[in-house]
Amino acid sequence: MQISRLSYLVKVVIDEVSPSGVGISYNDIPIDDRVNNLAEDCAKETLLASPLRYLPHEDIPGDIEIYGDGSGYVPLPSNFLRLFSFQMELWKRRVNDSITEDSESYLLQKNLVTRGGTNFPVCAVVNNEKGLILEWYSVPSYVRTPKCTEKRYVPIPTIEDSEINIPQGLEMLMVYITAKKVLMSLQQYDMAKAIEELILTEMKQLSV
């Protein structure tokens, strides 16, 4: 999506939620600059809020490492945004959502009885001395050489040649999210709240 198109659509949305009789002079407000500065963060927020089926994804590079107790990890690339899918050979299902080391569920993974297993596996994004890693729980401890059959992630969107790499089906959600952030930066809180309703409606439509 071209940043110029994003900026144009943001202005259209802002005009739609402006109170009757109130116009915004874009000559006085550098909307284009604000949109350009906010685009990458808004694209991240869009991808984090969207259903998996809309998201671009890539293979997680490298091999899995094992802890020796049936669990292990794989190093994550620097442009990791969120997990798309991960599955070990013996698992009955793939994992599409990850927990964090701050969650209560993470503590359960350190107990052999309460941690994830082949029926209900768990993945956790953890930041440690190795950097950002994805821990997986677990396979039976007697499996000496566990194999991973699928490991994919959603990369952080970037701007290249004045274009943000956001899927076409998510463009309007990103427009609404960007418009809201622009209005918040202008302290137009009532108008920003009106756009929240548009965001919720769009997210419901994407979930159908």
* Digit-coded pLDDT (tens) for 147-161: 999 999 999 999 999
| pLDDT score at 10 | 96
Over the stretch 20-45, which tens digit does the pLDDT of each residue have?
655 565 555 688 999 999 999 999 99
Q: pTM of the predicted model, to two decimals?
A: 0.91
Torsion of CA 139, 142, 144, 147, to 10 degrees: -30
b (16+ CB within 10 A) / e for 66-88? beeebbbbbbbeeebbbbbbbbb
Is-contact 57 84, C-beta < 8 A? yes
Share of the chain above pLDDT 90, in %: 87
| pLDDT score at 21 | 54
Is-contact 66 135, C-beta < 8 A? no
Over the stretch 82-129, which tens digit does the pLDDT of each residue have?
999 999 999 999 999 999 999 999 999 999 999 999 999 999 999 988
